[in-house]
Structures are given as structure tokens and as C-alpha cells.
């Protein structure tokens, strides 16, 4: 065994000790980064599935909670009465106004002046 490889010689060379310590630190950082990447790669599909399921369930619940009571109320009202006629006429008027607004917006984008919306 040579004199440079003894623990006493190794301890007496502070630069070698620092270099070894830095080499071990770099290797530990590389190992830690590789381990972290492997864990993220393993967890990412699970998180993606969880988020997709959460969004789906939330949207399903909200739409069911809005549509079901609306349909229930709409089905419980007799069809041939002033209330239903007023709701239908109001819905048609709202649809017509939205169509007019869309046309006006499309014309203004094309460079033509927007028409004034008449209220009746």
C-alpha cells in the first residue's frame, strides 16, 4: 500500500477531501433528481385521472342539479295557459335578440356600422 492511500495521507490533503466530498454531493444530487423524476412520472397519471374524474363529476352534478329541477317544473305546468305562452314568447324574443346581436357584431368586425337594436 502506498503512502498516499493511507487514511492519514488522505486526511492530510484537504483539497482531495473537499473534492471527494463535492463528488459525493453531486452524485447524491443526481441520484435524488433521478428518484424524484421517477416518482413524478409514476404519480402524474394518477393525478391526471383524479383531476379528470373530479371535473367530470362536478360538471355532471351541476348539470343534473340544474336540468332536473327545470324539467320537473316545466313538466308540471299545464301547456295551454298564459304562463307557458309568455315563457315561450319571451324565450323566442331572447333568441331573436341574441341573433341580432351576433349579426351586429359580425358586421362591425367586417367594418360595417352596427344597427341600433330596437326595443319593443
pLDDT in tens, the chain (120 residues): 444 555 555 556 878 888 888 888 888 888 888 888 888 788 888 888 999 999 999 999 999 999 999 888 888 888 888 988 898 899 999 999 999 999 888 777 666 555 555 554
The residues, ordered by sequence, that sit 6+ positions from 11 with a Cβ below 8 Å of its Cβ are 17
For the whole model, what pTM was predicted? 0.39
13, 18, 20, 24: CA torsion to nearest 10: 160
Q: Where are the domains of the chain?
A: 1-76, 79-120
Amino acid at each position: 500500500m502506498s503512502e498516499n492511500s493511507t487514511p492519514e495521507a488522505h486526511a492530510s490533503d484537504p483539497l482531495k477531501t473537499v473534492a471527494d466530498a463535492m463528488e459525493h454531493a453531486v452524485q447524491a444530487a443526481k441520484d435524488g433528481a433521478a428518484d424524484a423524476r421517477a416518482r413524478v412520472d409514476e404519480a402524474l397519471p394518477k393525478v391526471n385521472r383524479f383531476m379528470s374524474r373530479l371535473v367530470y363529476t362536478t360538471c355532471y352534478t351541476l348539470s343534473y342539479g340544474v336540468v332536473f329541477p327545470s324539467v320537473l317544473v316545466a313538466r308540471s305546468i299545464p301547456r295551454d295557459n298564459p304562463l307557458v305562452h309568455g315563457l315561450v314568447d319571451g324565450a323566442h324574443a331572447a333568441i331573436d335578440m341574441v341573433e341580432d346581436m351576433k349579426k351586429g357584431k359580425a358586421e362591425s368586425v367586417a367594418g360595417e356600422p352596427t344597427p341600433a337594436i330596437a326595443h319593443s
